[in-house]
């Protein structure tokens, strides 16, 4: 498909000024909310990507962003996907639903993609001082992922809730979610629909299942062993596994930088690398998540299917790039969150189609690492063009390039500052 070159675009320098303004407006003094009202707390992987944006013009503030997130680390090593530093009425479900008390600060009972080691390494390479406390916190978090989400040491990382993937309502989760009993879910009010068009958000039936899973975790005291043993949703996620494998490699680099022995990290790297091939779905020709309860793979690729190179796995690089090329022929802008040829593709509905800047950044980084520079540049250029034309929303329609979801979004601004808005 061809790009609509008639669409008006802003000047790059204006977008840079706008991006800095978004980070400042969303700053809550030590942490940055993704966007006002829709996401009024500190979100885990949002904050870490946002640190890259802060580092472009305020390195001290970048370090503070990471410090604040790590202050929420649990004794188990887990870092919550949401930290409720304040009380806000515009978001549901809040602390009263998650029921993680008496642990402070209050937060959710699940985590999010562990990008911290990769972000910290990049900041150190850019000249920031290496904080040993950060490395120790990351080590505890990574150990938790392996202990809690791969207790059988299969070399694939599970998620216990779609929100833990960071890619909340992917079609990948539809079949596993169908097994979740929602009969005990009490009436509730979805506050997101007052802020964003319902056509861009998960369906009500999805939310019922999300809340049933939150209730399951809360009733079991967020006990990792109980969740691994009995959660009705237990899915090996190619996205989390890829991101953690990349992060482990970066943690090994950070550990060596401190003059420490990375043997434990390297052992985990070996297990994840050996387990990665389990994601390959020959019927689809892509790396796909799979339900650990049934053994069934998802029946289509997602943007996470292109994170293998980012993870350091390049055995099927040719096949991965061939699939990316087929996707590129089916849409205008790269990389949609779900296969644009599939019947379940929805260009506006959250993770069932839209393009996300930070995922593009990870995919392109991996492709550049393995020498696929043309594809890496093509994805960066696509992201650049989307932001020039449509500003800094949560995500973008891959067919038209229009804004999707929340506006003035912090991690889109950060991705512009650190990557998409750069000259090369």
- 82 and 44 Cβ atoms separated by less than 8 Å: yes
Q: Give the integer Cα–Cα distance in Å for 172 and 227.
A: 20
Nearest to 400 by CA among 9, 11, 2, 18: 2
Cα–Cα distances in Å, from 170 out to 87, 174, 196? 29, 7, 18
For residue 374 the two structure tokens come to: 């043309």
Distance (Å) of CA 152 to CA 221, 305, 352:
21, 24, 31
Question: CA triplet 82, 87, 93: central angle to 5 degrees?
Answer: 50
CA 34 to chain centre: 13
Q: Which of 27, 56, 131, 168 is catalytic?
A: 168
Is 224 a known active-site residue? no
Helical axes 238-257 vs 116-125, angle rounded to 10°: 40
Q: Is 36 a catalytic residue?
A: no
Q: How far from 112 is each of 80, 158, 233, 239, 381, CA to CA, in Å?
A: 7, 12, 16, 11, 27
The closest alpha carbon to 195, from 409, 372, 388, 32, belongs to 409
φ, ψ of residue 26 in degrees (nearest 5): -90, 0
Task: Beginning with the edge strand found earlier in the chain, give each strand of the sheet holding 235-236 in spatial order.
Answer: 158-159, 235-236, 290-291
Distance between CA atoms of residues 232 and 161, nearest Å: 9
Among the listed residues 291, 339, 346, 394, the single catalytic one is 394
Q: Comparing C-alpha atoms, which of 400, 406, 34, 396 is closest to residue 420? A: 396
Neighbours of 175 (CB within 10 A): 15
Nearest Cα neighbor of 100 from 227, 219, 228, 182 is 219
Report which of 158, 157, 163 is spatially closest to residue 209, judged by C-alpha positions. Answer: 163
DSSP conformation class of 403: E
Residues across the chain:
424
At a CB cut-off of 8 Å and minimum separation 6, what does 254 contact? 117, 120, 121, 124, 130, 135, 138
The residues annotated as belonging to the active site are 168, 394
């Amino acid at each position: 498909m061809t790009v609509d070159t008639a669409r008006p675009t802003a000047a790059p320098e204006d977008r840079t000024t706008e991006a800095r303004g978004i980070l400042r407006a969303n700053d809550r003094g030590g942490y940055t909310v993704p966007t006002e009202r829709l996401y009024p707390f500190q979100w885990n992987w949002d904050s870490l990507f946002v640190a890259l944006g802060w580092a472009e013009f305020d390195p001290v503030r970048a370090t503070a962003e990471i410090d604040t997130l790590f202050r929420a680390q649990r004794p188990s090593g887990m870092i919550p996907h949401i930290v409720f530093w304040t009380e806000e009425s515009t978001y549901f479900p809040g602390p009263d639903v998650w029921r993680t008390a008496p642990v402070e600060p209050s937060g959710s009972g699940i985590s999010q993609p562990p990008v911290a080691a990769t972000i910290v390494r990049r900041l150190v390479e850019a000249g920031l001082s290496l904080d040993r406390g950060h490395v120790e916190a990351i080590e505890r978090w990574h150990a938790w992922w392996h202990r809690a989400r791969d207790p059988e040491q299969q070399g694939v990382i599970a998620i216990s809730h779609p929100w833990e993937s960071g890619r909340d309502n992917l079609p990948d989760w539809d079949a596993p979610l169908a097994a979740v009993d929602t009969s005990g879910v009490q009436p509730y009010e979805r506050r997101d629909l007052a802020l964003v068009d319902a056509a861009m958000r998960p369906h009500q039936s999805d939310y019922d299942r999300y809340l049933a899973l939150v209730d399951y975790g809360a009733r079991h005291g967020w006990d990792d062993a109980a969740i691994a043993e009995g959660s009705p949703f237990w899915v090996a996620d190619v996205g989390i596994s890829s991101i953690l494998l990349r992060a482990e490699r970066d943690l090994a680099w950070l550990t060596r930088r401190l003059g420490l022995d990375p043997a434990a990290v390297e052992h985990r790297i070996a297990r994840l690398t050996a387990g990665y091939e389990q994601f390959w779905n020959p019927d689809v020709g892509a790396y796909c998540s799979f339900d650990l309860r049934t053994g069934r793979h998802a029946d289509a690729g997602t943007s996470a299917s292109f994170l293998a190179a980012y993870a350091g796995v390049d055995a099927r690089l040719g096949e991965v790039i061939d699939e990316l090329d087929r996707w590129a022929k089916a849409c205008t802008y790269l990389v949609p969150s779900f296969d644009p040829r599939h019947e379940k593709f929805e260009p506006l509905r959250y993770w069932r189609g839209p393009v996300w800047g930070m995922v593009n950044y990870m995919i392109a980084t991996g492709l550049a690492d393995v020498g696929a520079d043309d594809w890496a540049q093509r994805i960066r250029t696509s992201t650049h063009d989307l932001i020039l034309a449509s500003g800094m929303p949560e995500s973008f329609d891959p067919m038209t390039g229009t804004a999707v979801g929340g506006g003035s979004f912090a991690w889109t601004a950060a991705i512009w500052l650190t990557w998409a808005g750069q000259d090369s």
